């Protein structure tokens, strides 16, 4: 049996979906205020001075602090059903289905949120490793639960969840530098859908 590891945003989808989910799940007032208050961070990120993990943590804190888990889960289901189908790459779905037809274990390994990815993965019968948001008493704290599932954390979680030595061949698919650690786990690596040397 083989193992196939797929990033989601930009690999399975045609673009990053974090902004789209924010526009659905964060109130218009918070969005407007957040654009003003977080503008320096976002500019710093675009210029390469501020890591993406820092920007995402700030956005999550501002956008989701005090939000009901039930409300977020409802947004996640809606997003999985209404937004994701229109941005899926046909070649990505073909590759996922090819791996499944071979009997491979297929895992989405993503920095995106489980509130919508879990629904998508369930409907496509694939496994999931991703980022989650912390909550207490049914209310979001505005923090990630543990580390964001990007960079080395992607590889660490895969190694924690799967015995890599038990797979005959490992495939990995990604599209940004935040996926490079994931690709390093694989015998066969695809970056932006082009095969790269192992």
| Tally of structural domains, the chain | 1
Which domain range does residue 38 map to?
3-196
CATH of the domain at 73: 3.40.50.1000
Render each residue's pLDDT in the chain as its tens digit; 198 residues: 999 999 999 999 999 999 999 999 999 999 999 889 999 998 999 899 999 999 999 999 999 999 999 999 999 999 999 999 999 999 999 999 999 999 999 999 999 999 999 999 999 999 999 999 999 999 999 999 999 999 999 999 999 999 999 999 999 999 999 999 999 999 999 999 999 998
Collapse the DSSP code of 84 into the 3-class scheme (helix H, G, I; strand E, B; otherwise coil) and give the result: helix
pLDDT at 198: 82
Number of other residues whose CB lies within 10 A of the CB of residue 17: 22
Strands 139-144 and 188-191: what pairing?
A: unpaired
Sign of CA dihedral 6, 10, 141, 143: positive
pTM value? Answer: 0.94
Dump the DSSP string for 17-66.
-HHHHHHHHS-HHHHHHHHHHTHHHHHHHHTTSS-HHHHHHHHHHHHHTT
Q: Alpha-carbon distance 150 to 129, whole Å?
A: 11
Residue 41 corresponds to which tokens in the numbers above?
A: 């961070």
């Amino acid at each position: 049996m083989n193992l196939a590891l797929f990033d989601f945003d930009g690999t399975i989808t045609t673009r990053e979906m974090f902004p789209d989910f924010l526009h659905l799940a964060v109130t218009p007032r918070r969005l407007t205020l957040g654009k003003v208050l977080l503008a320096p961070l976002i500019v710093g990120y675009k210029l390469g001075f501020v890591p993406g993990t820092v920007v995402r943590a700030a956005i999550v804190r501002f956008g989701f602090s005090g939000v009901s888990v039930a409300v977020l889960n409802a947004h996640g289901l809606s997003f999985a059903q209404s937004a994701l189908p229109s941005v899926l790459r046909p070649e990505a779905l073909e590759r996922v289905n090819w791996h499944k037809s071979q009997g491979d274990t297929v895992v989405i390994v993503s920095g995106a949120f489980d509130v919508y990815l879990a629904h998508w993965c369930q409907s496509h019968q694939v496994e999931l490793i991703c980022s989650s948001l912390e909550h207490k008493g049914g209310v979001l704290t505005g923090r990630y639960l543990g580390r964001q599932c990007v960079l080395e954390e992607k590889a660490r979680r895969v190694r924690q969840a799967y015995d890599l030595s038990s797979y005959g061949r490992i495939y990995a698919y990604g599209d940004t530098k935040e996926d490079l650690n994931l690709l390093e786990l694989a015998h066969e690596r695809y970056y932006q859908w082009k095969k790269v040397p192992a």
